[in-house]
Amino acid sequence: MTMTTTDMTTTGADVRTLPPPGSATPARALGRISVAVYAEDLILRTGVVQQLRLRPEIELIPEEEADSAQVSLVVVDMVNEPAVQLLHRLQRNTATRTGLVVGYFEAGALQTLIEYGVAAVLRRGEADQDRLVHLVTAVAKGEGVLPGDLLGKLIDHVSSLHRSVLDPRGLSLSTLTTREAEMIRLVSEGYGTAEIAQKTSYSERTVKNVLHEVATRLNLRNRAHAVGYAMRHGLI
């Protein structure tokens, strides 16, 4: 399957009425979500476009404006090399968020979607009008949408990452290492430096250095500020 930028981008006069010659292009309607549809063939593209063009909350934009879309909706049979190349290109465009409608999803494709910032996925067999609009709306808000089985795989993937990569190095997916989070948790419980050293089996000097490093890295004023930061961000 050959997939090019031109082949993958929809729209133009067939999905939006253009203004008369010489007139100004009207401003986009307030509250509508601008969407560029990318598909690997005309049949897939036409089907999705026909579903979305009926909804007043969606604005399908022409090819020449695709890079300014709030949402890039990619429609493919499977996540193959041409699809990956497209996702990579879209990831470099910070003006748009990407959602995926896919026919067949291989287990190994989940890592690819994570790497290229695709947070919303819908299986093509379930892609009716309401689900398409729900996906587009969620993507525009920065929310994630995954089928239940893929969500389970994502949780397993994160757990595996913790076990095999992060835990052996004392790291976590947060901005704090496991050791840093533990020390700040103890600070939040009212323990002083000597008590934290005793509970964590580190020297008092190490405890002071760790807390100082956290405060410096995160631009925190003091231990109370560090505790507040960690609690607000769900790190402890």
Residue 30: the pLDDT is 57
Q: What pTM value is reported for the model? A: 0.56
Of residues 160 and 209, more confidently modeled = 209
Q: What angle do CA 198, 201, 205 make, to 5 degrees?
A: 80
Average pLDDT over every residue of 204-211: 92
Question: Could you tell me the two tokens for 27?
Answer: 């401003």
Identify residue 11 by its one-letter amino acid code. Answer: T
Give the range with max mean pLDDT: 48-52, 150-154, 188-192: 48-52
Whether the per-residue pLDDT at 108 is higher than 80: the answer is no
Q: Kindly report, residue by residue over 4-36, the tens digit of the pLDDT.
A: 333 454 443 233 333 333 333 344 555 899 999
Query: Would you say 96 and 122 are in contact if contact means Cβ atoms under 8 Å apart?
Result: no
Query: Would you say 210 and 183 are in contact if contact means Cβ atoms under 8 Å apart?
Result: yes
Residue 201: the pLDDT is 92
- Cα separation, 105 vs 236, in Å, equals 35
Query: How many Cβ atoms sit within 10 Å of the Cβ of residue 123?
Result: 16
- Of 91-95, 147-151, 220-224, 227-231, the one with minimum mean pLDDT is 147-151
- Cα separation, 175 vs 218, in Å, equals 9
Task: Go through the domains of the chain in sequence order and give each one's CATH number.
Answer: 5-159 (3.40.50.2300), 170-232 (1.10.10.10)
